[in-house]
Amino acid sequence: MRGDYASATDAERDEAVKKVVQACAVAATAVTVQPLPFVDSALTAPIQIAMVQAIGRVRGHQLDGKSVLEILSTLGASIVAQNAMMAAAKFIPFLGWAVTMSMAYALTWAIGEVSDFYFRTGRGASDAELREMFQRVYRTKKDEKQAEHSADERLRDRLQQLKEAFEAGLLEEDEFRKKKEEVLASF
């Protein structure tokens, strides 16, 4: 996240930003595995701040604390609301973690995309434009992550059913392997 991009092409900068956003979104998701409500914000904020700074550097901007705060303050109410919802979700056993992970991923990704847009436009985007983009990207990424979790759960459930049928003697070993391969191929 500290590379020199002064002589990088636009495509190389785009790729670097993509990698930074993806790595930070995954890192923010990983830290939400901890079980305590309200701790997620303290753990994800430094990741998100470092991401904004890295994107600014990739896009050729000298960053100070003000630059990062400009973006984050524009999104402030949205970020605070999302963090409050993540904390509340932790009170729901199991499902809460899946929701929190999806939200942390989407929140970080949205901050990354908005930051990239902000720096690519020479820091000239309006607050309203940034907020609208943030909401759109956040919803899209959250829905994508939740769909992935649902598919993972369906796969896990189907494999568990096959395993139970095999263990109960309802399927022969060859038949179990064949059905397992079919299930895995369908996902």
Closest by Cα among 69, 70, 48, 57 to 138 = 48
pTM for the full predicted model: 0.71
Percent of the chain whose pLDDT exceeds 90: 31
| 75: DSSP letter | S
Phi, psi of 7 (to 5 degrees): -105, 15
CA–CA gap between residue 172 and residue 170 (Å, rounded): 7
Amino acid 187: pLDDT: 65
How many Cβ atoms from other residues are within 10 Å of residue 61's Cβ? 15
pLDDT digits (tens, 9 = 90+) for 89-123: 777 776 677 788 888 899 999 999 999 999 999 88
> What is the torsional sign of CA 20, 25, 26, 27?
positive
- DSSP assignment of 34-69, as one string? S--TT-HHHHHHHHHHHHHHHHHHHTT----HHHHH
Cα end-to-end distance, the chain, whole Å: 34
Amino acid 113: pLDDT: 95
Residue 182 has pLDDT above 90, yes or no: no
